Structure 1
Amino acid sequence: MTNNGLENIKYKEIDGYYVIPIETGYIKPNGSLNPIIEPATKLMRDGDYLVIAETPISVSQGRLVDEAKYKPGLKAKFLAVIWSKYIWGYILGPLLKIKKRTIKNLRKLPKETSAHKEVVLQLYGWKHALKPASEAGIDLSNAPGTSVSLLPENPEEVAKSLKKKINKDVTVMIIDTDATYMKNGHYFTGLPIAIDGIEANKGVIGYVKGQLSENMGSTPLGCSRKISVEEGLKIANIAEEYQKSLDTAMPTIHSVKSVLNVDGGVVTVEDLDSITHTPAVILRKK
């Protein structure tokens, strides 16, 4: 074969790799991951990477929480309004020079944020609830109704299990777009979990320290083999660069309704299933 076996296959070249998208419908709650694994098995060669976003893994595991069932207390209301909207939106955010998009979103936080903060408080505690956004890696953007998805349970074991199903000499990695930072050669993240070599579960302290450190990009949560942090970050960031180039990219709850053309109301499973999703990509060295 010529062109590294990519005849009649959709791909993009990024930083020395061919990036081959795995396109599916919406991976539904408690649904199978076969829509990802079956095409990956057919397309992958020994030495390839399969990089999967964390949310479809979480949704397939049924790790959804309906925030409408949580009644926010005074602590959650303080975190949503005073702390996140005003202190972070108008003081700490600009002071620490966080993303302008994040500051804009913080300043227009809806009242439903109080229930979200209650969820974070109950499930992860103050360390994560004090973070102004993306607390504990909870994803608001790819879940139906008033539900949110938590991080996957045991992503390393999931990656190893999926690698066995593919039954080739490949590497399977599960990633999150939340950042890994580096300071004085030390890697860390606010997320509750990450691959070995990245200090995890730093919460708001990691987020604040991260603004004063080097942002290394997306975080590898779990991998099917022992991998260096540098290799993991490189592969995760190439996959993320491809994802950001898609018209269907939905990094925030605000972009979801725009992409799905939903004007108000809640997003349904049918809405999410109305577009083509790219929950995973294959990376092949050029």
Structure 2
Amino acid sequence: MPIVWGYILGPLCGMQRILIQRLRRYPREEGSRHKQVAIQYAGLMQALMFGSEGGIDGSNLPYSYVSLPLQNADAIAERIRMEIKRILGKNVAVMIVDTDSTFSFRGFHFTYRPNPIKGIYSSKTFLAYVLGRMFKMKRRATPIALKGCRLQVEEALRIAEFANKVRGSGAGKTVWDMVESYNVGLTDVTWEMLEKSRHKPIVIVRKKRSNIA
């Protein structure tokens, strides 16, 4: 990991210098445990990513906890939609978005993240990330579920990216950002620290006169 991403793929992908330096200092013990989880839940080809392997995410979580990828995002989105209708009497569309990038080349959209919405091709390997970054393709957050309406893929991607920017990154975009913001060790972030961070995991988007508002 430190050699391949820190010295070869990181520079090829045009990563920021600070991220490359962090990858070169990738912690062996904690990193090994994390990669074991990634292999178990996302598979080897996803585990070769430098982070967010198959939707596994450690940011905005304490200690060495990670969130695992949703097993059935469509069913979860539909359940949320129906609960909103039952409680509030409102018909809404629900989109679940992952910050992992979808790259676009003309009319073709692809991602390394497994199980995006229909119309986005998933390679299920880190190679899609490398290709998209090397050729500086347009990248946006990835919608992984959409219930309650039909959208063209391009519009779904625009909404996903808009919501992603509005939502912000909470305690930090990455685990490294998070621990630096609290000035603690890699596994020393606590629930109490995170409770003080402003985090908006839900964004309400309304379409008005063909513009996102």
Using the size of structure 1 for normalisation, the TM-score is 0.64
| Residue 229 of structure 1: aligned partner | 153
Contact 2:5-2:23 at 8 Å conserved across structures: yes
Task: Summarize the alignment of residues 172-251 of structure 1 with structure 2, pairs less than 5 Å apart.
Answer: 172-211=94-133, 212=135, 214-225=137-148, 226-244=150-168, 248-251=170-173
What's the Cα RMSD here?
A: 2.1
| 1:106 matches 2:54 | no
Contact 1:188-1:202 at 8 Å conserved across structures: no
Contact 2:59-2:171 at 8 Å conserved across structures: no
Match of 1:281 among 203, 206, 209: 203
Greater than 4 Å deviation, 4+ residue runs = none
Match of 2:6 among 89, 95, 118: 89
The amino acid of 1:194's aligned partner reads P
- Superposition deviation, residue 184 in structure 1: 4.5
Contact 1:140-1:147 at 8 Å conserved across structures: yes
Match of 1:263 among 164, 184, 188: 184
CA distance in 1, matches of 2:15, 2:184: 29
| Residue 35 of structure 1: aligned partner | none
Contact 1:173-1:222 at 8 Å conserved across structures: yes
CA distance in 1, matches of 2:52, 2:38: 10
Contact 2:171-2:198 at 8 Å conserved across structures: no
Q: Which fold has the larger relative contact order, with Cα–Cα distance below 8 Å and residues 6 or more apart in sequence?
A: 1
Structure 2 CA distance for partners of 1:96 and 1:252, relative to 1, 3 Å: closer
| Residue 67 of structure 1: aligned partner | none
SS at match of 1:277: coil
- Superposition deviation, residue 101 in structure 1: 4.1
SS at match of 2:200: strand
Identity %: 38
SS at match of 2:155: helix
CA distance in 2, matches of 1:105, 1:141: 15
Structure 2 CA distance for partners of 1:227 and 1:173, relative to 1, 3 Å: same
SS at match of 1:182: strand
| 1:132 matches 2:55 | no
CA distance in 2, matches of 1:105, 1:239: 28
The amino acid of 2:20's aligned partner reads I
Q: Any unmatched runs of 5+ in structure 1?
A: 1-83
Aligned length in residues: 200
| 1:142 matches 2:56 | no
Using the size of structure 2 for normalisation, the TM-score is 0.84
SS at match of 2:138: strand
Task: Summarize the alignment of residues 38-77 of structure 1 with structure 2, pairs less than 5 Å apart.
Answer: none
Contact 2:112-2:126 at 8 Å conserved across structures: yes
Structure 2 CA distance for partners of 1:99 and 1:137, relative to 1, 3 Å: farther
Q: Which has the larger radius of gyration?
A: 1
Contact 1:174-1:223 at 8 Å conserved across structures: yes
| Residue 73 of structure 2: aligned partner | 155
Q: Deviations over 1:138-188 (max 9, x none)?
A: 101122222211122211111111111111222111111110012352211
The amino acid of 2:3's aligned partner reads Y
